[in-house]
Structure 1
């Protein structure tokens, strides 16, 4: 380090530091220069002229060479807070020699004059001190600038605080806002409630306690013929099993208080079954009890092993549960292990309670098989009917599953519960057989398995009768359930539905349906109010969606019903059955307007259901599409209820659906009635036989089967018969199988299921003549031509003088005018019609204007609320009235007559025409060039415009 570059202050600081390190404190200037004992003293530094301080750097090399300079005052060390002024009692004197040499000597530098001893006493004290070694660097040199840096920082901060303006004070910190209530993130509504509380409901009424009522579904199972057989809970075949129970009225739905005892619930269910259309009868136990809850006809079922599948065959089983009289539904809801498993005990928003008939057998009124007409009689075979179809859950039961030591424990099952049960094949003799019978020989149908239990380590062989099926066989088995092996090879016997009034005619079809749907149920009045038909249609479809969600149309089919179209002030504009017919027609016509989206053309001008995707990609069908198919099915069923043919759908399609998708229901005579061309083609196919040339069918197979006849050249008898079945199915239903999801969705709405077991399928089969007669009568409402409607028109005699006046003016009577209008096609005045059509209801499909049935269908729709005729044979009354006729209009007759408004009253099927406007058209002058060109064009344009304006608008004033 070049000491010549140090300032006075730095030199003084260094001198003070050296003094402390050598054990001496620097003295004040008055005490004289500091000396270091044992170090040659340097000459005093001469004073600087002017009295200013002399910088140590002025000494140059002369001071380092030891030249004697003039004496100079001692340097006062810099005083700091860290280094206080030393006490005067500790004198600090330097020996002879210059300052530079002293510093270098203290630092152990090369200019040290004399070697220092290892230890020398401090002047003025007897304390020895350690002297620095010549060969060792001075310790603490790295701390030389610390005091200077600290002082600079302190002075900088002091100057800044005195000169720099103070910053304004910060704003007071706002109080942190408290957290609000937690908001869950958006999510989709779960398909089923996550717990039982989703089944609770808040009843209406001022004194009602929230969540005091619950929605429940009661499943009643027929008794097992062998009490030792397992009661299986179906998961994979749940929909099929529940549908079968509903067919026999064994699914009951209630809304009951949560504190209702299970005993009272069972008594209610038992009474409902006895008073249903099936008129069930129960067998009383041989040994009765004095306690009521021990003599119930139905017994409560609980889960075996907490509802866990059995390891051997993955079956979930149920068992009879003892019941105490004080047990309530709330108690069942709180028992998650035995009754309230959320994965098994929820039916959408309903708590499922499972019961079984206590004693075998149960009897009811069902259809019997005979050669004559269908006979209803009491049967005791319900258990065999159901359990023959539902023996085990799933299509196959894997009995040869290997089970390791980790699954040897039953997880709570007893040894008896783990015993293998034989899946018995059908026994025609009805005798049954022991699976361990030594007469049974091993075959491909017998699958040996080994099972080890905790009770014994011995292994025994158990043979279980199981069909060996692969994936292809499973598909074939499923298809065979819907398709017979041949066409019309045996007589077909339809099933029948049973109600308290089992057979019906068309005299009052809607009333009969409503009574059957509410049989044994307490149903309130179904009532809708709206400003017009469009508003009522929207409200009605909301009710249909609720019924679809609940799978219960009981409220929608209530016997007491009313539909009102109200004015702005609340007064009734129109009401009655005609309004309801128009609502259903309007809702159905919205599908017909988009016919390409919902209907697929088939043979003979009829249509089937259109599917959006094939079966291969059916798992990606949007849920909204399936819901709309359900709504379409419900609307088609409601058109049947009101005797309106759901055109353009094929009547054979509904014959197929109303008989549980049994293709044998399409018998030869029925196909010939509706599809004569298809019937002829099938007869030719059957007559040609296998192995013959079938090139004559090339067009049909290319159009409906997407296959060439050359690919079917090699056929045996079975294949030839199966192709005939395929021809019939594809020509009517289409290419997709009957278990396509969109077909399933359509059927879910079309059957109109109700709480008491009613379905439209049962009702149609209970109709006199069966489903064929039911469909024929409904489709007789179709308007095939203008003459069909003219047979239903009744033209009342006009007032005196009108006929003569009209004949004198134009040469026509009113009947001639109507006949000419209904038999015409197209638009009589295109320019005038183009202006008027902007006011028509969108449900009117103007694309069919050139059809010969467009005008009669439209006129019937305006007069009755439906484009079909009434199946009860009622007439449409047409009258020509004066302007002051009280039945023509109320309060605004003059305006209506002047504008030529026709009064259509759908509820009464009445049409009133103003005579003054007809005379006005007859007396007008026509030039033959501008529209209208003549009287007949003017009268047809007027009738067509008024008819289309009335559809969906209700001109009834």
Structure 2
């Protein structure tokens, strides 16, 4: 995630071909697979939304929070932390995990390009019914009517004090909005209703401040191909039915609030004689078990709190890792056992909804390769065409397939987008390559007739007066190529050099196997090849 913060490209984490691998301090393989992915992502969410949420969010209305912000400049370290928190929030929604206590209306607002009009009456009523009723009362009065009943709201959310004088309601200005309260027009009266909603959901600070700008850079999860969370998951590609509102509601459904949230069915396959024996055993166990069924016992346990055997747990506490001790700190939570069960079964402390997590698909291309084998020296050469790729954006490993009895050289990485791309969303530059040529000036207003190709904006034919016309032919984004090498090849037999846009491999091979020879089975160990 930190690498993506620096590059501004989240393609690798969001790629449908992503693969999570756990290695030790020596980069030796430990485990991999979908279960590891769920565990890793769940740990990210735990750190950001349980341990550190107070660092980024502040309570605003009821149990809901908003982003901590101020009309100030922020340090580069704080900026990167906010980008990470924003990315964790976007990833949480993609994985169907609700991000902490952030106001759902705030998330819907951000997913609608920060357009406050997306928060319509029915939507506000479903989440904040008291605020919806207050806004209705505000709109039912006129610009010249008394606003005394709204004094507590303005004092709490607008920093405005409303007090009575002998003749009329007068206002003491404590913010720039205060001038709208006295002598306001009909249009100003309605506009102030939107301000009232804004300050309850987002806060009194404008969305353009440095804190929200950094948060949005991560939250949108922009990819080098030009797509982001809004484009792919919600609107342009129509990959999520129902738009931002249903997207957020789906994530809310994953939160475990009570036993009903688990949405599980407990089946018992015991025959009637065994059920009769169970009923007798439960009756003998005490009045708290009398009349209970097998399903009742399971439900009662999951809905219970605390440790079933506190003394035994206390005697073993010093043997647990710090991570386990941290998890056990929530032992008294009414949902602890339910979350623990989900964690054991799925690797996530939440309800996993049907189907795979949503994915932001980026273009995956296969670089061209030349190969040559010298039968006398038994030297194998591969030349992989990677123009413009830098060493830090490249990964090469060896991997053995026990099924096909062959060893492969796997090359993957990221070819960054050209840096003359037209910036989009909120004026943020998705990626800027510091080693590339100077940035060219973007085209003049391309108007609504502009056409987008893979996230890049090309000027329409009727804007030939623009100073720059752009087309896109070069391949970029994530690439992947698998090269076969002899089964007995060791890491020391491979020399990899990246020069002038060509990744060259020189591989020292043993003599080829004869037709009747079968390669011996080897361990499925992944090793990283150092590129010079």
TM-score by length of 2: 0.54
Task: Return the offset for 1:590.
Answer: 0.9
Deviation at 1:751, TM superposition (A): 0.9
Report how far residue 725 of structure 1 moved. 1.5
Residues 814-833 of structure 1: pairs in structure 2 closer than 5 A: 814-826=294-306, 832-833=312-313
**Which of 693, 696, 714 matches 2:182?**
714
Equivalent position of 1:599 in the other structure: 57
Does 2:12 align with 1:559? no
- 1:917-936 Cα shifts (integer Å, max 9, x gaps): xxxxxxxxxxxxxxxxxxxx
Q: Distance between the aligned counterparts of 1:753 and 1:730, measured in 2?
A: 28
Instruction: Determine which of 78, 101, 107 is the counterpart of 1:654.
Output: 107
Per-residue CA deviations over 1:249-273 (Å, capped at 9, x if unaligned) read xxxxxxxxxxxxxxxxxxxxxxxxx
Distance in structure 2 (CA, Å) of the matches to 1:663 and 1:732 = 10
Partner of 2:218: 749
Find the counterpart in structure 2 of residue 780 from structure 1.
253
Q: Which runs of 5+ in 2 are unaligned?
A: 164-170, 172-177, 284-291, 357-532
**In the alignment, which of 334, 350, 374 is matched to residue 868 of structure 1?**
350
CA distance in structure 2 between the partners assigned to 1:835 and 1:725 by the alignment: 57
Q: Does the C-alpha gap of structure 1 residues 803 and 634 become closer, same or farther in structure 2, counting only changes over 3 Å?
A: farther
Relative to structure 1, the CA distance from residue 813 to residue 725 in structure 2 (aligned partners, 3 Å threshold; closer, same or farther) is: same
Change (3 A) 1:828 1:607: farther
For residues 867-893 of structure 1, give each alpha carbon's deviation from its aligned partner in whole angstroms, at most 9, with x where no partner exists. Answer: 32222279xxxxxxxxxxxxxxxxxxx
Q: Distance in 1 between matches of 2:93 and 2:206?
A: 25
Pairwise CA distance, 1:788: 1.4
The alpha carbon displacement at 1:837 in A equals 5.5
Give the superposition deviation at 1:675. Answer: 1.8
Cα distance in 2 between the residues matched to 1:642 and 1:692: 48
Please tell me whether the aligned partners of residues 21 and 30 of structure 2 are also in contact (alpha carbons under 8 angstroms). yes
Map 1:626-775 → 2, pairs under 5 A: 626-710=79-163, 711=171, 714-716=182-184, 717-763=186-232, 764-765=234-235, 766=238, 767-775=240-248
CA distance in 2, matches of 1:681, 1:593: 35
**For the structure 1 residues 742 and 807, does the alpha-carbon distance in structure 2 shift closer, same or farther, using more than 3 Å as the test?**
same
Q: Partners in 1 of 2:6 and 2:78 — Cα distance?
A: 15
Q: Distance in 2 between matches of 1:629 and 1:842?
A: 27
Q: Distance in 2 between matches of 1:770 and 1:546?
A: 30
Using the TM superposition, give the Cα deviation of residue 662 of structure 1 relative to its aligned residue in structure 2, in angstroms.
1.2
Q: How far apart, CA to CA, are the structure 2 residues paired with 1:786 and 1:571?
A: 41
CA distance in 2, matches of 1:736, 1:677: 22
Structure number with the bigger relative contact order (C-alpha 8 A, sep ≥ 6) is 2
Spell out, residue by residue over 1:353-409, the C-alpha distance to the aligned partner (whole angstroms, 9 max, x if none). xxxxxxxxxxxxxxxxxxxxxxxxxxxxxxxxxxxxxxxxxxxxxxxxxxxxxxxxx
**Structure 2: distance between partners of 1:551 and 1:793:** 43
Counterpart Cα distance in 2 of 1:675 and 1:837: 43
Shift of 1:798: 6.7
Give 1 or 2 for the bigger CA radius of gyration. 1
Greater strand fraction, Structure 1 or Structure 2: 2
Give me the whole-angstrom Cα distance separating, in 1, the residues matched to 2:94 and 2:258. 24
Question: Does residue 56 of structure 2 align to residue 584 of structure 1?
Answer: no
Give the whole-Å Cα distance in 2 for the aligned partners of 1:691 and 1:835: 70
Instruction: Give secondary structure in 2 for the equivalent of 1:582.
Output: helix
Deviation at 1:661, TM superposition (A): 1.1
**Per-residue CA distance 1:505-559 (angstroms, 9 max, x = gap):** xxxxxxxxxxxxxxxxxxxxxxxxxxxxxxxxxxxxxxx1111211112222222
Q: 1:758 to 1:568 in 2, by over 3 A?
A: closer
Measure the CA separation in 2 of the matches of 1:821 and 1:837: 22
Structure-2 separation of matches of 1:644 and 1:566: 26
CA distance in 1, matches of 2:19, 2:266: 28
Output aligned runs, 1:451-490, within 5 Å. Answer: none
CA distance in 2, matches of 1:823, 1:780: 18
Q: Distance in 1 between matches of 2:205 and 2:270?
A: 56
Indicate which of 59, 63, 66 corresponds to 1:608: 66
* Aligned partners of 2:268 and 2:295 also within 8 Å: no
d(CA) in 1 for partners of 2:266, 2:25: 34
Q: Is the 8 A contact 1:645 1:868 kept in 2?
A: no
Of the candidates 271, 278, 282, which is equivalent to residue 810 of structure 1? Answer: 282
Q: CA deviation at 1:844?
A: 4.6
Q: Distance in 2 between matches of 1:843 and 1:658?
A: 36
Question: C-alpha offsets along residues 572-597 of structure 1, whole Å, 9 cap, x if unaligned?
Answer: 87543232122112112112213321
| TM-score, L = length of structure 1 | 0.31
Name the CA shift for 1:727/1:862 in 2 (closer, same or farther; >3 Å): farther
Q: 1:806 to 1:728 in 2, by over 3 A?
A: same
In structure 1, C-alpha distance between the alignment counterparts of 2:60 and 2:330, rounded to whole Å: 19
Query: Within 2, Cα distance between the matches of 1:842 and 1:598?
Result: 25
SS for the counterpart of 2:20 is strand
Shift of 1:834: 4.8
Shift of 1:709: 2.4
- Counterpart of 1:607 in 2: which secondary structure? strand
Quote how far apart the aligned CAs of 1:629 are: 0.8
Distance 1:695 1:727 in 2: 15
Contact 2:302 2:337 in 1 (8 A): yes
Residues 548 and 731 from structure 1, CA distance in 2 versus in 1: closer, same or farther, beyond 3 angstroms? same
1:862 & 1:705 partners in 2: Cα distance?
46
Q: Secondary structure at the match of 2:300?
A: helix
Are the counterparts in 2 of residues 857 and 867 from structure 1 also a CA contact under 8 Å?
yes
Q: Is the 8 A contact 1:634 1:749 kept in 2?
A: yes
Whether the aligned pair in 1 keeps the contact of 2:83 and 2:219 (CA below 8 Å) is: yes
Deviations 1:596-649 (A, max 9, x none): 2122122242222123xx20xx12x22211111101111111122222222322
* Cα distance in 2, alignment partners of residues 569 and 548 from structure 1: 25
Matched residue of 2:323: which SS? Answer: coil
Quote the residue 1:495 is aligned against.
none
Question: Is 1:792 aligned with 2:264?
Answer: yes
Contact kept in structure 2, 1:629 and 1:745, CA below 8 Å: yes
Which structure 1 segments of 5+ residues have no match?
Answer: 1-543, 875-957
Change (3 A) 1:873 1:809: farther
Q: Is the 8 A contact 1:593 1:845 kept in 2?
A: no
Query: Matched residues in 2 for 1:870 and 1:754: separation?
Result: 26
Write the deviation string for residues 737-783 of structure 1: whole angstroms up to 9, x where unpaired: 10111111111011111122111011211333222222222322222
| Partner Cα distance (1:732, 1:870) in 2 | 28
Q: 1:162-219 CA distances to partner (integer Å, 9 max, x unpaired)? A: xxxxxxxxxxxxxxxxxxxxxxxxxxxxxxxxxxxxxxxxxxxxxxxxxxxxxxxxxx
Please state whether the residue corresponding to 1:754 is helix, strand or coil. Answer: coil
Q: Give the Cα–Cα distance (whole angstroms) in 2 for the partners of residues 782 and 837 of structure 1.
A: 28
Query: Partners in 1 of 2:216 and 2:261 — Cα distance?
Result: 31
Mapped to 1, the partners of 2:152 and 2:250 lie a distance apart of 34
CA pair 797-636 structure 1, distance change in 2 beyond 3 A:
farther
Q: Distance in 2 between matches of 1:678 and 1:795?
A: 44
Match runs of 1:48-197 below 5 Å: none
How many corresponding residue pairs? 325
